[in-house]
Amino acid sequence: MPKIVNSWNDFDPLKHAIVGRADFSMIPPEEPATSEKVPVDSEMRGMWGPRPTETVEKANEQLDNYVAVLEKHGVKVDRPTPLQWNQHIQTPDFRNDSMMTAMPPRDILLTIGNEIMASANSFRCRYFEYLAYWPLMNEYFENDPEFKWSQAPRPRLTDKSYKHNYYDEKISLEDRLIRTANKDFVTTEVEPMWDAADVMRVGKDLFIQHGLTTNRKAMEWFKRYYPDLRVHSVNFPGDPYPIHIDATFVPLRPGLIINNPHRPLPVEQRAIFEANDWQIVEAAKPAHDGPPPLCYSSVWLSMNCLVLDHKTVVVEESEVYQAEQMDKLGMNVIPVPFRDAYPFGGGLHCATADVYREGGMEDYFP
Ligand code: ABU
């Protein structure tokens, strides 16, 4: 039987991926971990309910087009099976009035080698999102005898998992930055919590962002679960809303990373890259002054690109400065329109999860 699942990084030749779907997407009700992520001046504060139908249709159109582009470039694409997200959920520990979406898969699924693991997300509204991917996991399981289908320990997400009153409407941007610098985030340390999009995979090394969606205990859990890998906790003190590493620190090929200039990697954490002759280049400025309507993410989705191989990258069509920079860095750029999908949880990298990339577990930082 063929090997279906294999991926050790975000830059080796991509042959098989999952791309999300926007159907039935919700703006979830406020809960302890989500309040912190919504900027004070966002039109989304206090709002919840089904996303407008026309926005879902437009997002799906761009997602379908993205799939067609990937297929044209030799990538097999699978799609999740969305649930009706507009229903309340309950566990012994909490109740939430709705779920969220089957976008983006990158937050939920972490592929390391022949294993795809569902994450331990801190948002209650995302507790059952993994179910949208279970039919695919089952298919890979039945057809690839080496595939390891796994699930991280499920957090209980009781009230003890969050710092209550952490969010304060009056908090200034400066205060937020002080909190980020002090590594003071909304989650507590009672249990490991992490989003898969906080994990940057570079062969034997995992660089994991400690922020609003991934806590310290998750780092310890990763170290014990993957004893053969090296786990590095990284912070980006310039980010007032630190969530997900893939609009902050993005590898393009072995030896080259683009770094958000507003969120530079601290000097002491750069050492491992510099000692191994990796170049960290400031990413180009975004082409837009603000995100599209009803979007949680920042303008830095400009750098949330999908690398197809060491010379080819997919960049959002209107992000002309980012595309120009990629070109100068020696990449062939495939432009794809995707801004209508941004409100559903992110950009081109977010909207995918790796199933198969060529290559094995290299040691890039010996
Ligand atoms: N999911 C990536 C979002 C990162 C950002 O808002 O900058």
List pLDDT tens digits, range 115-149: 999 999 999 999 999 999 999 999 999 999 999 99
pLDDT in tens, 158-178: 999 999 878 777 788 898 899
User: Distance between CA 66 and CA 76 in Å, rounded?
Assistant: 12
Judge contact between 327 and 333, C-beta under 8 A.
yes
| Closest ligand 1 atom to 299 CA | 7
How many angstroms does the Cα of residue 79 sit away from the middle of ligand 1?
A: 22
Catalytic residue, chosen from 210, 244, 340, 354, is 244
ipTM of the complex, rounded to two decimals:
0.97
Helix, strand, coil tally for the chain in percent (to 5)? 25, 25, 50
Active site residue 125: no
User: Distance between CA 275 and CA 13 in Å, rounded?
Assistant: 26
| Closest ligand 1 atom to 346 CA | 1
Q: Which two tokens stand for residue 135?
A: 């039919």
Hey, is 93 helix, strand or coil? coil
Dihedral (CA of 195, 193, 12, 299) sign? positive
Q: Domains along the chain?
A: 14-357 (3.75.10.10)
How many angstroms does the Cα of residue 348 sit away from the middle of ligand 1?
A: 11
How many angstroms does the Cα of residue 2 sit away from the middle of ligand 1?
A: 35
User: Distance between CA 307 and CA 96 in Å, rounded?
Assistant: 36
Active site residue 295: no
Q: In the block, which residue shows the tokens 């952490």?
A: 166
In this structure, the residue with its CA closest to atom 3 of ligand 1 is 297
pLDDT in tens, 68-116: 999 999 999 999 999 999 999 999 999 999 999 989 999 999 999 999 9
Q: In the block, which residue shows the tokens 């209550």?
A: 164
User: Distance between CA 100 and CA 23 in Å, rounded?
Assistant: 10
How many angstroms does the Cα of residue 366 sit away from the middle of ligand 1?
A: 30
Q: In the block, which residue shows the tokens 């990373």?
A: 257
Q: Which residue out of 194, 300, 319 has the highest number of ligand 1 atoms within 8 Å of its CB and is therefore the one to mutate?
A: 300
CA distances from residue 175 to 40, 59, 169, 261, 314 in whole angstroms, order as listed: 13, 35, 12, 20, 36
Q: In the block, which residue shows the tokens 């309910």?
A: 49
307, 310, 311, 315: which is closest to 334 by C-alpha? 315
Q: Is residue 39 over pLDDT 70?
A: no
Active site residue 232: no
User: Distance between CA 229 and CA 222 in Å, rounded?
Assistant: 9
302 touches ligand 1 (CB under 6 Å): no
